[in-house]
Structure 1
Amino acid sequence: MARTKQYFIIYKPFKVLTQFTSEDGNPGLGTIFDLPRDIYPVGRLDLDSEGLLILTNDKGLNSALLNPKNSHQRTYWVEVEGIPTETSLDALRNGLEINVKGIYHTLPCEARLIESPALAERDPPVNYLKHPVRSWMEIRLVEGKNRQVRKMTAKIGHPTLRLVRVGIEDLSVFPLQPGGITQISEKVLYKKLKLI
Structure 2
Amino acid sequence: MTEEEWLESIDPMHLWVSLDRNASNRKRRLFGCACCRRIWPLIPDARCRSAVITAEQFADGDVSRAELARAKAQAKAASVEHSGAKAHARATSAEQWGRVLTKHWAAGACCSVALAKASDVVMAGRSAAVAQQTHAVLQLGRPFGSPESAAMTDQLAEQEQRAQADLLRDIFGNPFRPVPFSLGARTPQWQ
Regarding TM over 0.5, the answer is no
TM-score range, shorter chain: under 0.3
The structure with the greater share of residues assigned to helix is: 2
TM-score normalized by the length of structure 1: 0.27
TM-score normalized by the length of structure 2: 0.28
**Based on CA coordinates, which of the two structures has the bigger radius of gyration?**
2
